[in-house]
Amino acid sequence: MSTDNRYIIAITVMLGTLIEVVDTSVANVSLPHMQGTFSSGVDEITWVVTSYLVANAVILPITGWLGNYFGRKRFYLWCLVIFTIASIGSGAAPSLTFLIVMRVIQGAAGGAMVPMSQAILLESFPKE
């Protein structure tokens, strides 16, 4: 693999990881606004954050196996696509239930992106 390709891969993977990490906490800022929009209580609206974190934690242990089974690059790209679609769905959510479902999907896809990005970087920049 040429040096230029390795750095393009690194930048791409790092941007995907950055998006996932930012999305982990970005909903916290808008919880009060969402609470008013969806006319929900504190216990209901906190599921927006909790659902993401739970799905993120559930997917982590099986990410390595899924990456080996489907291929790291393919699995990472699918996670990125699913994460993006779920992000659009979250932004256009007509109800709290729909938003929580989208956040679960986001959390699962995003949770798999971080370990896959590390594996892809390790393949791209092996120890010499």
Q: Which residue has the tokens 């690059």?
A: 73
- How do residues 21-36 score in pLDDT, each as one tens digit? 898 888 889 999 999 9
- How do residues 49-66 score in pLDDT, each as one tens digit? 999 999 999 999 999 999
Q: Which amino acid is at 75?
A: F
Residue 111 to residues 21, 37, 41, 76, Cα–Cα distance (Å):
9, 28, 27, 11
Q: How confident is the model at residue 95 (pLDDT cuts 50, 70, 90)?
A: very high
- In the chain, what are the domains? 3-124 (1.20.1250.20)
Does the pLDDT value for residue 127 go beyond 90?
no
- How do residues 1-23 score in pLDDT, each as one tens digit? 667 788 999 999 999 899 998 98
Q: What is the pLDDT of residue 128?
A: 72
